Amino acid sequence: MFHSRTANECIAEAKTQPIPRNLYQSLIFEGEITILFADTGIGKSIFAMQMANEIAKKDKVLYFDLELSDKQFEKRYSENYQNHFVFNDNFIRIVFARPFKIPNNTTYEDYFIESLKQEIARTNAKIIIIDNMTKLVSSDTDSAKVAKPLMDLLNDLKFEHNLTLLLLEHTRKTDTSRPISLNDLQGSKMKANFADAAFSIGRSAKDESFRYIKQLKCRSAEIKFDTENVPIYEVVQENSFLQFKFLQYDTEFEHLKQVTENERNNLVEQAKQLHLEGNSYRAIAEKLNISKSTAERLIKK
């Protein structure tokens, strides 16, 4: 299982290997597993497509689009189905072959990974984007029991084929008045622990079309986009391309929802009433659109 060397031997061997390239604005580095997580409908796929097309100027990119139909994809990258955007030829979009049949005595997970390996071999691509992680396994990825084997499998795949992996994932229900953290990543934190990097997209409270990017983990460089320095974007469609258009840098605090004292008191009263009715912390969180930990704090207050 292990490979033993002196520290100097490790460095000597590392010196013979290429320096990992910064593939996109210090958010994605070559040879790493990166997780992009955000709430539903906030634009994960839009930003991932944008990054993929930019990276495809130099490298072949496989984008496993397991969410959108071809017609939905066309609409995003055209002007009302006319004047279509022309992607770089290195950008390869892959969807499920419908219908597909899993061979006997083969699990969904094994069939998915084997099919993925076939696409890698066929295209010789080294940069893989999977949209999204929920399609990697037949069950949910929330528990450590499922998340750890999944991340182990992806790490093995990364080393075996010298891949760069970007995985899209959802957030759990969050309180939009507080900064984004790794705890907002849906399910087991095991996913973040095994990833090399992680960043998230937040929705600005200033404007419905504004978004910001926040880095939560980066092993190959210092974090560039922290809570004091987040890039602000506007979601626009220009030249038939749905995209995040950069506006400026700002602090995360300026784009969080500002909760008034009356709103906070009202939330406490609602939580109290739901608790008296016998609702669990999880049920209260779902009904009030807050996190389970926030619901627990409100009840205790």
**What value does the mean pLDDT of the chain take?**
90
pLDDT digits (tens, 9 = 90+) for 163-202: 999 999 988 766 778 889 888 887 657 788 889 999 999 9
56 confidence band (pLDDT: 50, 70, 90): very high
pLDDT digits (tens, 9 = 90+) for 6-27: 999 999 999 999 999 999 999 9
Name the class of domain 19-253. Answer: alpha beta
Report, in this order, helix, strand and coil percent for the chain, each rounded to 5: 35, 25, 40
Show the DSSP H helices in 90-224 as ranges: 108-123, 144-161, 190-194
User: Percent of the chain beyond pLDDT 90?
Assistant: 67
pLDDT digits (tens, 9 = 90+) for 98-122: 888 899 999 988 899 999 999 999 9
Where are the CATH 3.40.50.300 domain residues in the chain? 19-253
Q: Return the pLDDT at 143.
A: 64
* pLDDT at 234 exceeding the cut of 80: yes
Distance between CA atoms of residues 251 and 229, nearest Å? 5
